[in-house]
Amino acid sequence: MQHSKQSSFCDHTPVRRGPRPASERSGKTVRAGLHVFPGFPIEEYALFAAALHDAGETCGNRLKIDVLSFNGGFVRGSCSAAVQTRPLTELLDGLDYLVVFGGHKAAPGSNQRFRAALQTLRRNGCQIAAVGGAALTLAKAGIFDSYSCAVHWQNRELFSGLMSVVDPTDQVCSVTEGDWSSCGKTGTLDLALHVVAEVYGKHAATRLAQAFIHTRLSDTRSTQNGEVMHAALSGSGLVNKAIALFQDHLENPLSMAKVARILGSSPRCIERHFKQNCGITPCSYYRQMRLDHARKLLLRTNMTLLEVAIAAGFSTSSSFASAFQQVYGTTPTALRKSLSAAEAASISS
């Protein structure tokens, strides 16, 4: 996909790109801010923070870490965990890196002061990076300043409608011009290793990867496809191929007869392999994949129930709601209401 060099952050005119040059930072303390929004993924935050902390312990404490939010105070993340933060505005002129962690509750687009803060940080030479869902949050708000964005393969469809602003890639990390990004999960560690390599050198990053028993030291060419998508999903090659087809046809489900034709097999043979390796029929497996996809859309997007139903391969809202309740014990509407209630409680606490 070809894009112009114009930034998606429309009023952003950077003075310089990327972090301060190594020669400028040499011998000086490097400051990294870890910015969290309500609902941030605690496992990704903890992994990134631990990597930077361990690098400092091993290589010398030249890297100072600040935990930030826009207003400061306690911020609650996933698993009911909370962290104490400082206000972002206290460090607008002192950060070399700002790494953003966000969940489905994050809504920075409504905060013009947050937009202005990012603009100031970029002008001051701070490198902005988004981990996992934070990139989607910033892109939706129009304040993700890069066209290339590393997106977890499960979240790729959530970027539909943003293609004119962001080009989602299957890279583990994107550390090219503009804001950096990581696909999240263990890809969070790859982004942390890239920061460590810039601050302490690649040898330090390699040693840290070994300490974390991390089998790769990613560069800009490393993709999720090579690490995850080609991994065995079951003990059957036929089942693996069928699951890959299911994943590619969630909105327009294939019949088992068509799946069999594509794979050069028969519906009966496919069903036998699924029962042997997964314990359920291929139709049940396929339906569960579609419902899992629908649940993710309900939690992470503002799509209407009908739009979610169609995206998951259901022709009507009623058939979708019935199938959803049968599996999850609640309706799509009730799930959305419970999410809104949880958000309200988080804001008031």
Grade residue 87 by pLDDT with cuts at 50, 70 and 90. very high
Q: Which of 74-83, 147-156, 196-205, 273-282 has the lowest mean pLDDT?
A: 147-156
CATH superfamily of 237-348: Homeodomain-like (1.10.10.60)
Q: What is the distance between the alpha carbons of residues 88 and 114, in angstroms, rounded to a whole number?
A: 9
Determine which of 108-117, 281-290, 332-341 has the lowest per-residue pLDDT on average.
Answer: 108-117
Q: Which two tokens stand for residue 56?
A: 């400092």
Where in the chain are all domains bearing CATH 1.10.10.60?
Answer: 237-348
At 75 the pLDDT is 93
Q: How far is CA 249 from CA 167, 187, 279, in A?
A: 21, 26, 22
Whether the pLDDT of residue 66 is over 60: the answer is: yes
Least Cα distance to 54 among 183, 210, 163 occurs for: 210
pLDDT band at 10 (very low <50, low <70, confident <90, very high): very low
For the chain, helix (H) and strand (E) counts, in that order, are: 14, 10
Q: To which residue do tokens 């649940």 refer?
A: 295
Q: In Å, what is the CA distance from 331 to each residue of 89, 305, 323?
A: 41, 11, 9
Q: Please give the Cα distance from 56 to 204 (Å, whole number).
A: 10
pLDDT of residue 136: 79
- Choose between 38 and 230: higher pLDDT: 38
Among the ranges 11-15, 79-83, 140-144, 217-221, which has the highest mean pLDDT value?
79-83
Q: Give the best-scoring range by mean pLDDT among 48-52, 164-168, 174-178.
A: 48-52
Residue 3 vs residue 214, higher pLDDT? 214
CA dist., res. 222 & res. 178, Å (int): 19
The residue among 156 and 56 whose pLDDT is bigger is 56
Burial of 279 by CB count in 10 Å (0-12 exposed, 13-18 middle, 19+ buried)?
exposed
Task: For residue 262, give Cα distances in angstroms to 3, 127, 243, 276.
Answer: 35, 47, 13, 21
Mean pLDDT for the chain overall: 81
Res 138: pLDDT:
83
pLDDT: is 157 or 197 the higher one? 197
Nearest-angstrom CA–CA distance, 232 and 237: 8
Nearest 5°: the CA angle 72, 174, 28 is 55
Burial (0-12, 13-18, 19+ Cβ within 10 Å), 241:
middle
* Structure-token pair, residue 320: 């979708």
Q: In the chain, what percentage of residues exceed pLDDT 70?
A: 79
Residue 148: pLDDT over 60: yes
- Give the per-residue pLDDT at 162: 64
Q: Output the pLDDT for position 110.
A: 53
Query: What's residue 268's pLDDT?
Result: 95
Q: What is the pLDDT of residue 215?
A: 63
Fold of 22-227: Rossmann fold (3.40.50)
| pLDDT value for 170 | 78
pTM, two decimals, is: 0.64
Could you tell me what percent of the chain has a pLDDT over 90?
Answer: 44
Domain with CATH 3.40.50.880 in the chain: 22-227
The answer to whether the beta carbons of residues 14 and 123 sit under 8 Å apart is yes
Q: Quick check: 14 pLDDT over 80?
A: no
